[in-house]
Structure 1
Amino acid sequence: MQISFRLAALAAAAAVLNLMGWAQASRTVNGEWKGTIKGPKGIGDIAIVVDLTKSPKGEWIGTFGMPDVPVTGLPLDKLVVREPNISFAVPGVPGAASFEGKLSPDGQLAGTFITGSSKTPLSLTRTGQAKVALPTANSALAKGFEGAWWGSYDAGGPNRYHLVLKLSRRPDGAAMGTFTNIDGDNVETPITSIDQVGNYLTFEVRPLAASFRGSLNTAGTNIAGEWKQGANTTPLTFGRGASINSINSVLPKPLEGNWESTFDAGTEGKIDFVLKLGHIADGTATGTLSNKEPNSKALPLSVILVKGNTISFDVGLIKGKFHGTWNAIGNAVAGTYEMQEIMTAPMTFKRPVSASKK
């Protein structure tokens, strides 16, 4: 009887301790947190996962994920925990994403998720222990890898992408870098981790669920390897270049500004295009192509080549190509537009009426 009583007492004490432990855990931001935010129209809710814990040094660390995208394990930046208050930034997510919240008495982590000028309520529920998998520290970077590199690859279907890779060294010699998809969002994304051993380079870009592994050739002019994104793997070679614009021509002044054209897409009807041409500080051409629909996205141009009175350019995201000649008075560029390598049609860009009257 005495033994049974002692066992029962121990069991009761253990239960109390477990309850105390759970109550204590519910009053801290340490753990795995899950919730959803409302996505853009037609997208629905987007799942969010935030993991928060302390490092062996006692510092708060954490990661952010959107498993439906899929993006996981993005290291948090500017993480400030003054319980019950918490704030952090998520580098690599468009719109300079950040969160400001507070741990409520009922154990919810509630606050505001901010991207650009958009502010969305976000309530997170603690679902278990934190699973923080921070990237490995960047290795040192040999001088031969420093600088800007560009490459391109065919992603299948209508998609062809031009890429810019920038690598540099921190004061302590450790590697750092950014990655830009010119034909995608055209935004520099911080590289999550970089490892360089001899002629081999490996890097991971967690915001894109992507990684690259390749080797630098003897001449130091290109890095050839494989690009992995999600379940897809494709050969990719980066060549030297200040940017993707380094292969573009200098833009003559008569071509600067806005141009318009109506493209006959057959059964799809007619599409009104707007071509915008400009240049960066050294005169190198840049540009975008969009249509006049209210929600049209301006697609970056790449490989803008000018020779004499001819101009050609690619629209990588939709596998479009244009080649034409501008007339003597500089108010029209007539040529052909090839779309997705399956259709070619005449196309003439003209100055907008308001511009031609000036």
Structure 2
Amino acid sequence: MKKKLVVSIVLLVLGVSLALIAYTSAKGIGFLSPIGSKISEIKSNDKIIAKVNGKPIYYSEIATWYLFKKAGYEIEKKYLPDSLLENSDPMNVLNEHIDSILLFQYAKEKGYEVDKAYYEELLKSAKDSFNSIVSGKFSPDENLDPLSKEESEKFMPIAKDIIIQTGLSYEECFNKIVVPGLEESARLQTLKKDIMDSINVVSSPEEIRSYLQKYPGNILFEQIVYDTREELGKDKELFESSPHPESEMLEKILTLHNNENPYKSIKFNTLSELPSYLKNAMDNSKQGFYFGISEEKGKYYLIYFMKISMPVTHDEAVSKIKQDKLRNAVDEKIGQLKADLRRSAKIEIVDKKAIEDLTNINP
């Protein structure tokens, strides 16, 4: 399952805000969430647990990220299959953090510029989410799916707790903490684009053919068949004149005609494969309505289109295959770069036991 924008940006704001936890303390203000209190407790016993090229990593940073991941896992396991769940242990969280530091350091040392377009996109989304955190209202999207809604309800108060603990005003926190983090992410995007430009991928005819077969068009519809034009005309008039929703009106008409199996689904690769009466009904459907009428071989059809998805085109298949291959190739090269950077980096684990003991804390 792909991650939703509101949640991914909330986590981005959280991640940038966490940078301050390494050297700030709570100001004695009441917390909105249990994790907020737990973070304050963690911060009161803070210490350096690792170093990367001399840069310290604090216990509070890793402990907080671990709490987020653990809390997110408890929510996601209610909605996602096991194959999509990520239940990282504390050492994995530390290693991910080390990799991020190494990549940021590398991008800066090599002189990669900030991707301005990507930065502006991040900045707008981050402002929306930051305002949502401060106000406690979901401004990006009121119609969240259940997983996104529960994650947002869980993480937004935590983010506000983190902002409170900095002791800064909301504006200062955003400008001093969030903005620099967005710039680093946008610099890393330039590095990724550079890697992407070095990769050449092609799609074979077999891959394209296989992709097209996987994603045919599909029409889900309900239909009533009439023996005379007059019968069709009466129901058509009901449809067009009724103040009720079309689906409600169709349900009444189906019941009237004792239609016991109204739902039909047809898969197709080209429109020419469709039965002519169905294609004609599509062509004859009126603007603002989801039903069409058709005549074929002495029969008359009133068809309500519930869902129409067109088949993937050749160009779309080529583009999607290229995107997938590029993403996999970039991930592979980034993974190799991380491994190379680790080999030449000076990484010191100062307190491994403190990291391992994080498994005993709960959000």
TM-score by length of structure 2 reads: 0.21
In terms of fraction of residues, the more helix-rich structure is 2
In terms of fraction of residues, the more strand-rich structure is 1
- RCO (CA 8 Å, sep 6+): is it higher in 1 or 2? 2
Which has the higher Rg, Structure 1 or Structure 2?
2
TM-score by length of structure 1 reads: 0.21
